[in-house]
Amino acid sequence: MTKLSVNINKIATLRNARGGNMPDLLKAAKDIESFGGQGITIHPRPDERHIKYQDARDLKKIVTTELNIEGNPVSQFIDLVLEVKPAQVTLVPDAVDAITSNAGWDTVEHKNFLKDIISTFKNEGIRTSIFVDPTVKMVEGAAETGTDRIELYTESYAVAYGQNKHQEAVAPFTEAAIAAHALGLGINAGHDLSLDNTKYFKENVPNLLEVSIGHALICESLYLGLDNVVNMYLNRLK
């Protein structure tokens, strides 16, 4: 079964909108795990507009599944990851002012940069993943960095799937996943996956180990309830 890691950035955004501690981010993480979620993902950004760096420290103490910290490996982020030592770190090439992630790494151009950072994290026993676009060239470049996994950037899939181009949408991801598996890389995926499109993606992308889903899952939970939605995703990932 593909694991579901729930990105709780949007819960932090709601909390920060009013100050205080409502909703309680730590309670939400524990509840998600009790509902069946198999991991918690956070993506702190330098301006701390949703997840705060202290949240990462606090979550480390209470998450009993797997904590995945995503982000651009600037010095502040690297220091945080080395301090917290999550189960997994996912490297994402975000601009400082990015609203959300919008591209995978050019693993050829940035190979040496990524190789050095990945080595640092792996020496501390932290599993590494690189956010990549679904192209064989980028997958091959990722393999040369020494990373444990890749995370396939799925926005293009979600857009094309929404236009009823299902086979066209998933084809490059199938090809990329096959190449990654042949190179010994684990395969994660995330960005704009939803209750509508996750099942088809899972059925057509082989060896998929984990999906990270946040924005859609939290939006769907406003109507259907968090416990219910987590289990709806788990059913789609069987």
Closest of 129, 96, 110, 145 to residue 208, by C-alpha: 129
Q: Which two tokens stand for residue 198?
A: 């996750």
Candidate list 33, 66, 151, 191, residue with the active-site label: 191
**Number of other residues whose CB lies within 10 A of the CB of residue 224:** 12
Long-range contacts of 147-150 (CB under 8 A, 24+ apart): 147/114, 147/118, 147/185, 148/122, 148/185, 148/186, 149/88, 149/185, 149/186, 149/187, 149/188, 149/209, 150/180, 150/185, 150/186, 150/187, 150/188
The verdict on whether 166 is a catalytic residue reads no
CA dist., res. 22 & res. 85, Å (int):
27
CA dist., res. 127 & res. 206, Å (int):
21
The verdict on whether 191 is a catalytic residue reads yes
Sign of CA dihedral 219, 223, 226, 228: negative
- Domains of the chain (ranges, CATH numbers): 3-236 (3.20.20.70)
Q: Which helix (H) or strand (E) holds 3?
A: strand 3-7
Q: What is the largest CA-CA distance in the chain?
A: 48
The verdict on whether 43 is a catalytic residue reads yes
Candidate list 43, 66, 151, 210, residue with the active-site label: 43
**Eight-class DSSP state of 144:** T
Amino acid at 85: K
Candidate list 33, 66, 70, 151, residue with the active-site label: 70
- State the pLDDT at residue 94: 77
* Tens digit of each residue's pLDDT, the chain (238 residues): 899 999 999 999 999 999 999 999 999 999 999 999 999 999 999 899 999 999 999 999 999 999 999 999 999 999 999 999 999 999 999 766 555 556 799 999 999 999 999 999 999 999 999 999 999 999 999 999 999 999 999 999 999 999 999 999 999 999 999 999 999 999 999 999 999 999 999 999 999 999 999 999 999 999 999 999 999 999 999 9
Helix 25-35 × helix 9-18 angle, to 10°:
150
SS3 track for 147-216 = CCEEEEECHHHHHHHHCCCHHHHHHHHHHHHHHHHHCCCEEEEECCCCCCCHHHHHHHCCCEEEEEECHH
- State the pLDDT at residue 1: 87
